[in-house]
Chains A and B, each alone.
Chain A
Amino acid sequence: MGRLDGVVCLVTGAAQGIGRGIVARMAHEGARVAVNARVDDDRLKGVIREMGGLPAPADIADPAAVKRMVGEVEAALGPIEVLVCNAARMTMKPFLEQDADEWWDQVNINLTGHMDVVAAVLPGMRRLGRGRIVLFSSLWGPIGWENASGYAASKSAIVSLGRALGRELAPEHIYVTVVAPGIIDTPQLQVDADDAGVSLEEMHRIYARNIPAGRIGTPDDVARTVVFLSTEAARAFVGQTLHPNGGEIRGSM
């Protein structure tokens, strides 16, 4: 018996990387997963082919598309009980050299877009009388990172959004928590490598040297945390941020 047998879950940004790992782990635990990606391309089709689930393409930055997508998922699977807000955009440039649209694009997807997703999913959770929302921050949110000011600002805001929504929704048995992953082995690391002017392999080595665990994380490291937070076993957590980062930072909040 899986820990999410029959539970309807929506994972945003799940065609690759951490999101794909979350879909795999949730499917393994028996969930009925709606798999969001910006476009319905070969990567999304590949995830569905491999792990099952319902394709749910939509650009998270487009409020109308988000509303339509959530409606389609609910029509096909019923109300969403677990929402995982994983989709993210990061472009690295010095603050003064980054075009304002490009800077705000990151905030519009990482923060504002997911506020629209939460708003679209909440009425269904209220009808169910329960729900779990897992927001995604990042190691680079709380500590900041050079050439990633837009990304860091959006991801830091998510920690506060999680606290506020956690307080606000807990009385309705809708539990909001946040995951702030450290350096994880995903295609996104190529962006970091390009910014640092090194090869992807060298980037992996540089990161691993600074991680107390001695390695970078895997998407499944994060997916296991998300599955925990998606179940009643995580009842002790309201608005909290969990940090699977190999020990790179060791905050308590």
Chain B
Amino acid sequence: MSDGGNGNRVALVAGSGGLLSDAIADRLRAEGFSVGRLEDGDLSHRTQTIAAAERIAGSLGRVSVLVTIPTLHDAAPFGEMSSPRWGRLLEAHLGATTNACAAVVPAMVRAGQGTVITISSWLALAGIAGEAYYAAATGSILAFTKSFALEVAAKGVRVNGIAVGPLEPAPTDGAYVLPGEVADTVMFLVNDAGFFVGQVLVASGGALV
């Protein structure tokens, strides 16, 4: 089905743990991709991320799809999170996302082809009391995605994002999104979104309209 320029079907899912990364990796496999995984430990230092990505490309082939999926959640009222704790949260989101892009995208640029999908949280857009640190950490991914997309678009690499809604029924209005529905959105961005650049799709099942 894909004629979106993904001749070599190797995908890399960056981020371990959580229903979302498994659902997306499974869907990519079901669509015929060989899927490599970068674990959270690989993503905390740039040189380690590069080495891990090179090992994966060495065994599976050139990566044409990168999906970054930060999973760490941490929350405290503003002013009540220690600097080291905030540092870990920002590293887990903006650090892991940018390390994965730095490790994988140069080869995409050399090949003139590839697509990157950054996963963030709807809280980046909606905001919620008690989640200022988390919203800031995940929100930084939106700004990075849009700017980075402009740097590599003309080189044949499409960078877009998905801001994912609550993954279980929300306490207030009940709207939520399922991991499989996020995976459907990933496949749209991989297969059918050739004119999407720097967009962040809000996949929230109606939690954020």
Contact = CB atoms under 8 A, between A and B. Distances in A.
Asked if A and B bind, the verdict is yes
Interface residues of A, number: 33
B203 interface: yes
Contacts of A233: 181, 184-185, 187-188
Contacts of B200: 250, 252
Q: Count chain A CB atoms within 10 A of each CB in B125, B154, B192, B201 and give the residue with the most.
A: B192
B195 A238 contact: no
A167 B150 CA distance: 33
B188 A234 contact: yes
A98 to B, nearest CB: 30
A221 B194 contact: yes
B176 to A, nearest CB: 10
B153 A214 contact: yes
B175 interface: yes
B104 interface: no
Q: Which of B125, B184, B200, B204 has the most CB of A within 10 A?
A: B184
Q: Give the one of A225, A235, A246, A247 with max B CB within 10 A.
A: A247
B206 interface: yes
Interface string A161-188: 0010011001000000000001000000
Contacts of A182: 195
A236 B205 contact: yes
B197 A236 contact: no
A242 interface: yes
B205 A235 contact: yes
Contacts, number: 102
B165 interface: yes
Given A236-B181, A239-B209, A250-B149, A212 B193 contact: no
A13 B193 CA distance: 23
- Between B125, B188, B203, the greatest number of chain A beta carbons within 10 A of the residue's beta carbon is seen for B188
Contact of B153 (A212, A221, A227): A212
B46 interface: no
B206 A170 contact: yes
Given A213-B154, A245-B195, A250-B198, 15 more contacts: A212-B154, A213-B158, A214-B153, A221-B195, A227-B192, A228-B188, A233-B187, A236-B182, A236-B184, A238-B175, A238-B206, A246-B195, A247-B149, A247-B198, A250-B149
Interface of B: 125, 142, 146, 149-150, 153-154, 158, 163, 165, 175, 177-178, 181-182, 184-185, 187-188, 192-206, 209
